[in-house]
Amino acid sequence: MSRLVCVSNRISLPRKSAAPGGLAVGVLNALKRTGGLWFGWGGETVDEVPGDPDLHIRDGVTYATVDLRRREFELYYNGYANQVLWPLFHYFLRSMRYNVDERDAYEDVNRMFAQKLLPLLEPRDLIWVHDYHLIPLGRYLREAGVRRPLGFFLHIPFPNIEMLRVLPPYAELLRDLTCYDVVGFQTENDLQAFYSGIEHLFGAEAIRGDGRIRVGDRVIRAEVFPIGVDVATTQNEAMEAMSSDVVRRMYDSLMGRQLMVGVDRLDYSKGLVERFSAYQHFLETYPENVGRITYLQIAPLSRSDVKAYVEIRQALEQASGRTNGRFANTDWTPIRYLNRNFPHATLMGLLRSAHVGIVTPLRDGMNLVAKEFVAAQNPDDPGVLILSNLAGAARELSSALLVNPYDTRAVGNTLQAALSMALPERRERHAAMLQTLKRNDIAAWSRRFVEALEKVDAAESRVRAIGNSV
């Protein structure tokens, strides 16, 4: 049986006190079936050249963590990955800043990852690489002689070629993706955007009738694998958290008011400034709701060393201050804005408590919070999901109230519709979305991708067998 090897920019050893995030749940689900290996940066930066990976075994899974040199981390992660690829892939050209030194560091880190991973590989391994930090890794593994099936999954959007061409080495990026045997995307739109790049670089004839891509003597399988959530675990966590101190204190503090909850990493792609403006418009347009609804926005800090993230934090603090200063009363604060994280189970309890979940990114690969909100609800009395039509999750959760996040007036009006929605309609919408979540849960996502890699392995085995018999 083949062993699965997963590679991601960052990995954390499992801790009893912390529930794993969406990526970790999916990866671990796949790894535990084969007793696999998870390789990546362990979170430490050093001044000297990194040594060999540290190996830890937990529940049959081997975790291999490497350190990064401090300067390379700054250039590779805060620089190229998050000031070039992240804004470009999310269509935020205004925030993109290309720097050759950062590109070189990006290549150096990917080369180092390949060098450190090679001694750990076994002859029957299937290798699954994750996300935009590690696009060139497949090329470096191929150059080192790795011929095993390689898969790559992009967790964020993929830009159309007319956007991608802004990147000076865009052709190299596309060629790097063709070093993989299976390339996975969140949505059909992302897949079509990838095809547009392939057609531009290799010609329309490179895309076969079955959707596969032929480049030279290689055939690449590009498909949509929408990532999901662990529905049963989310439901259980949400129900149990309702009796926790944090959730009970929050619920008691509402004093019977309705609750709207947003949970987003502090990032300019999440549309938080526009969301705060929409909420203020809602209070202005529907003054009967003043004093009757509380908006809880949880936005943990991220990438605090990057200028754009410092600016978004300041903008949100000013926006929430304006709204609270204008509408607050001695016993009511319109916006509770928190720059901190909570345990996953607590977050699920807060989502279950909400009458409205608001998820309005300006662009998002998927957005698992939207799916977690649906899974966390009480089916007998569910809350309403307001969801950006620019999030990948909107392709599946069509029974949510879909909005354009840039249209703050429409978002405010939709909030009013959500708060006044009758119970039968809420139940109907929730049931339809929950059915979709169960069909495309996190286990199905990892299983489908691994099965695609296994098909590549089986096909190559047949070719080898034919060659040996000739």
Cβ neighbors of 254 (< 8 A, separation 6 or more) are 294
Contact by Cβ (8 Å): 262, 415: no
Closest CA to 407 of 314, 290, 282, 316: 282
- Pair 429, 400: CB distance under 8 Å: yes
Q: How far apart are CA 225 and CA 153, in angstroms?
A: 8
How many angstroms separate the CA atoms of 229 and 377, rounded? 14
Token representation of residue 9? 């920019």
User: What is the spatial distance between Cα 394 and Cα 167, in angstroms, rounded to a whole number?
Assistant: 28
Backbone angles phi, psi at 45, to 5 degrees: -115, 145
Closest by Cα among 373, 364, 423 to 400: 373
Active site residues: 155, 364
Rounded to the nearest 10 degrees, the angle between the axes of helix 423-439 and helix 368-376 is 120
DSSP per-residue string spanning 299-341? -----TTSHHHHHHHHHHHHHHHHHHHHH-BTTB-SEEEE-S-
In the chain, helix, strand, coil percent, each to 5? Answer: 50, 20, 30
Tell me if 418 sits within 8 A of 293, measured CB to CB: no
Rounded Cα distance between 338 and 323, Å, is: 15
Residue whose pair of structure tokens reads 């008691």 in the numeric block = 252
CA geometry: angle 397, 402, 408, nearest 5 deg:
150
